[in-house]
């Protein structure tokens, strides 16, 4: 398959805010938000064959086998609602994935990398909660829901991801530096990478991303 829609790739270490930005941006642009992490977690929840294969990797903060994620992404891109454009969140995470994605895309992606200091990432992730229904993201101190444990938007139950503990987040940061940082260089060389200070209020970051996309 060849994907002909617009592609925005949001990159950044765990808890850099890429999920929050991806949801808002997709809504604004009328694009589909594709998070490989969400797709994988859904498989784990439903105890599918894929879910059973990936659970251990995810709980340990490791990358899941490449072929499997690429296949999941391809299937999602093929769906009708993705035709106009997509915001990718959590993919690509390795050079191989970036190369595979390039084969699928008709035109060059726009890549946005959110930069946030490590101490801040750990603080953010341990307090992070997400809606089990609509994936809206909250933080117990910085952005709490009106009612504890309940999503403001859809009343779904809020969950704390099993990989958002300090030990696992540190491992995810190591994985990011080792496997995902080279992907940033790959896009920098292609002239499609934009880095953004992610240590600011989400609304301000979103405005910056929107102005980038309108260039
Ligand atoms: P995320 O929700 O993006 O933080 O992803 C959660 C976890 O899902 C990661 O720590 C990995 O175990 C797995 N995962 C998500 N996307 C990928 C990917 N593109 N390649 C490999 N593993 C992934």
Atom nearest to 61 CA in ligand 1: 10
pLDDT, mean of residues 66-92: 95
Q: Please report, for the chain, the start and end positions of each structural domain, with discontinuous segments joined by +.
A: 6-118+165-213
Among residues of the chain, what percentage have pLDDT more than 70?
Answer: 100
Report, as residue numbers or ranges, the catalytic residues.
18, 93, 128, 161, 172
The Å distance, Cα 215 to ligand 1 centre, comes to 30
The CB of 130 under 6 Å from ligand 1? The reply is: no
Does this model's pTM top 0.75?
A: yes
What was the pLDDT predicted at 1? 83
Domain 6-118+165-213 has CATH 3.30.420.40: no
Over the stretch 183-197, which tens digit does the pLDDT of each residue have? 999 999 999 999 999
Average of per-residue pLDDT values in the chain: 94
Give 71's contacts (C-beta < 8 A, 6+ positions apart): none
Give the pLDDT confidence of 138-154 residue by residue, as tens digits.
Answer: 999 889 999 999 999 99
Burial string for 140-152 (b: 16+ CB within 10 Å, else e) reads eeebebeeeeebe
- Give per-residue pLDDT as tens, 154-168: 999 999 988 999 999
Q: Is the CB of 58 under 6 A from ligand 1?
A: yes
Give the per-residue pLDDT at 215: 60
DSSP-assigned letter for residue 80: G
For residues 160 and 41, the answer to whether their CB atoms sit within 8 Å is no
Instruction: Answer yes or no: are the C-beta atoms of 109 and 198 closer than 8 Å.
Output: no
Helices and strands counted in the chain (H then E): 9, 8
């Amino acid at each position: 398959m060849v994907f002909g829609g617009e592609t925005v790739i949001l990159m950044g270490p765990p808890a850099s805010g890429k999920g929050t930005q991806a949801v808002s941006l997709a809504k604004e642009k009328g694009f589909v938000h594709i998070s490989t992490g969400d797709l994988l977690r859904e498989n784990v929840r439903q105890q599918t064959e894929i879910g059973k294969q990936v659970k251990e990797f995810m709980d340990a903060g490791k990358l899941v086998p490449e072929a499997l994620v690429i296949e999941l992404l391809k299937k999602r891109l093929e769906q009708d609602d993705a035709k106009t454009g997509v915001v990718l969140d959590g993919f690509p995470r390795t050079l191989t994935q970036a190369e595979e994605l390039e084969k699928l895309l008709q035109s060059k992606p726009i890549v946005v990398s959110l930069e946030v200091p490590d101490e801040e990432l750990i603080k953010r992730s341990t307090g992070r909660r997400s809606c089990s229904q609509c994936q809206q993201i909250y933080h117990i101190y910085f952005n709490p829901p009106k009612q504890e444990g309940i999503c403001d938007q859809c009343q779904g139950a809020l969950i704390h991801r099993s990989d958002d503990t300090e030990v696992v987040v540190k491992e995810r940061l190591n994985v990011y530096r080792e496997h995902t940082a080279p992907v940033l260089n790959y896009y920098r060389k292609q002239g499609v990478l934009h880095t953004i200070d992610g240590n600011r209020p989400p609304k301000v970051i979103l405005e910056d991303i929107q102005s980038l996309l309108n260039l």
